[in-house]
């Protein structure tokens, strides 16, 4: 069976790697945080001491890192993994990064005969654990065909968004919509509750009405409305506000390439920056609720 190197075992990477292990794939894992590697090793993975160690014997490399700079430093440059991987290796890069950055890594991979996909995901930590993520893939159709069984082990919907970097473009568009919906939902929850409504009642009315959206379905920002949502767990776990701020920054950059106007995204970015200044960057992005109470 395909030997996998998995690099980056954070909120998303760990449950994704777990699903590959459960499906029987031999997997060697690395993260800068040793305890994450040890957790997965306890479940049957091989523990690597470095990224270079993880890719030894690997036919497929999967990475799930925070941002562009982490991905570029992992793959590019003299000591980058692309200089160490055998031609023919498949790299599935799942982090959300700048489309430009993804294209840079694609080009370097192609020069070395390595097939690479940018394959960012949507669906949150719940989707990662359940193996129901949505993958938005950029790159060659042939490489995607090869990746299909692995992606299907971690996800439910697999879209070929287009050529190199297209997965990242789709992802920043999606996350801009998500941020705007989260903020609008938080704002409305605060307004309704301040005017005497029960939070759960208001949430259910909006969920089933024309204001309904993903945050009302799966991720209500008001504590106690949804038991499984990060808001009910002190805004812990989930998707960090600082990562949402990163994605909104990427969306603004992407918009500016073609002179697009993205005012809702710009406002969302400013509100998330405010949260970061308040020291809430490590909390789940639904913590934006606290700006309105
Ligand atoms: P995270 O910060 O929890 O995990 C990132 C992991 O990468 C950390 O464990 C960190 O130690 C590790 N890491 C960083 N640099 C490394 C390196 N050089 N070598 C090995 N490990 C390294 O972040 P996350 O929430 O898992 O998100 C990962 C990516 O997925 C981000 O790009 C994020 O925007 C995206 N994403 C997150 C969610 C979510 O709900 N959390 C949903 C969709 C997409």
- Cβ atoms of residues 267 and 164 within 8 Å: no
B/e letters for 42-59, b = 16+ CB within 10 Å, e = fewer, are eeebbbbeebeebbeebb
- CA 190 to ligand 1 center in whole angstroms: 31
User: What angle (nearest 5°) sits at the alpha carbon of residue 100, between those of residues 275 and 144?
Assistant: 105
Residue 147 in contact with residue 92, Cβ under 8 Å? yes
Q: Which residues are near ligand 1 (CB < 6 Å)?
A: 7-13, 30-33, 36, 51, 64-66, 70, 74, 95-96, 121-122, 124-125, 238-239, 243, 247
How many other CB atoms are found less than 10 A from the CB of residue 140? 17
Provide the ipTM: 0.99
On whether the CB atoms of residues 89 and 61 are closer than 8 A, the answer is yes
pLDDT of residue 1: 86
Atom of ligand 1 minimally distant from the CA of 95? 32
For the chain, count helices (H), then strands (E): 12, 9
Which pLDDT value is given to residue 51? 98
Domains 4-163 and 169-291 share a fold: no
The domain limits of the chain are 4-163, 169-291
| DSSP characters over 75-89 | HSSTTSGGGTSPTT-
Task: Give the Å distance between the CA of 6 and the centre of ligand 1.
Answer: 12
Q: What does the buried/exposed string (b/e) look like for 76-111 if buried means 16 or more CB atoms within 10 Å of the residue's CB?
A: beeebbbeebeeebbbbbbbbbbbebbbbbbebbee
Ligand 1 centroid, distance to 255 Cα (angstroms): 24
Minimum-distance ligand 1 atom for the alpha carbon of 33: 11
In this structure, which residue's CA is closest to atom 37 in ligand 1?
239
Please check whether residue 67 is in contact with residue 37, taking contact to mean a CB–CB distance below 8 angstroms: no
Among protein residues, the one whose CA lies closest to atom 39 of ligand 1: 239
What are the residues whose beta carbons fall under 8 Å from the beta carbon of 159, sequence distance 6 or more?
134, 135, 136, 137, 170
Tens digit of pLDDT at every position of the chain (293 positions): 899 999 999 999 999 999 999 999 999 999 999 999 999 999 999 999 999 999 999 999 999 999 999 999 999 999 999 999 999 999 999 999 999 999 999 999 999 999 999 999 999 999 999 999 999 999 999 999 999 999 999 999 999 999 999 999 999 999 999 999 999 999 999 999 999 999 999 999 999 999 999 999 999 999 999 999 999 999 999 999 999 999 999 999 999 999 999 999 999 999 999 999 999 999 999 999 999 99
Superfamily for domain range 4-163: NAD(P)-binding Rossmann-like Domain (3.40.50.720)
Q: Which fold has domain 169-291?
A: 1.10.1040
């Amino acid at each position: 069976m395909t030997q996998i190197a998995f690099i980056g075992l954070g909120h998303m990477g760990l449950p994704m790697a777990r699903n590959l292990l459960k499906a029987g794939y031999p997997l060697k894992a690395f993260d800068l945080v040793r305890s994450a590697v040890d957790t997965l090793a306890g479940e049957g993975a091989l523990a690597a001491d470095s990224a270079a160690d993880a890719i030894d014997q690997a036919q497929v490399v999967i990475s799930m890192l925070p941002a562009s700079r982490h991905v570029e430093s992992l793959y590019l440059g003299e000591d980058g993994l692309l200089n160490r991987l055998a031609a023919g290796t498949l790299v599935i890069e799942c982090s959300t990064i700048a489309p430009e950055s993804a294209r840079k890594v694609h080009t370097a991979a192609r020069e070395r005969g390595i097939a690479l996909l940018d394959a960012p995901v949507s669906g949150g930590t719940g989707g990662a654990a359940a193996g129901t993520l949505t993958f938005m893939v950029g790159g060659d159709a042939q490489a995607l065909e090869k990746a299909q069984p692995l992606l299907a082990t971690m996800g439910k919907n697999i879209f070929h968004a287009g050529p190199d970097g297209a997965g990242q473009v789709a992802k920043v568009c999606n996350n801009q919509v998500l941020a705007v919906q989260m903020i609008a939902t938080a704002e409305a929850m605060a307004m309704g509750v301040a005017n005497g409504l029960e939070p759960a009642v208001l949430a259910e009315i909006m969920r089933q009405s024309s204001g309904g959206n993903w945050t009302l379905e799966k991720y209500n920002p008001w504590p106690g409305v949804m038991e499984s949502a990060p808001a009910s767990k002190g805004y812990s776990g989930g998707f960090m506000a600082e990562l949402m701020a990163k994605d909104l920054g990427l969306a603004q950059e992407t918009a500016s390439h073609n002179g697009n106007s993205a005012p809702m995204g710009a406002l969302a970015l400013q509100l998330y920056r405010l949260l970061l200044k308040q020291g809430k960057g490590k909390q789940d992005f639904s913590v934006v609720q606290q700006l309105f109470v």
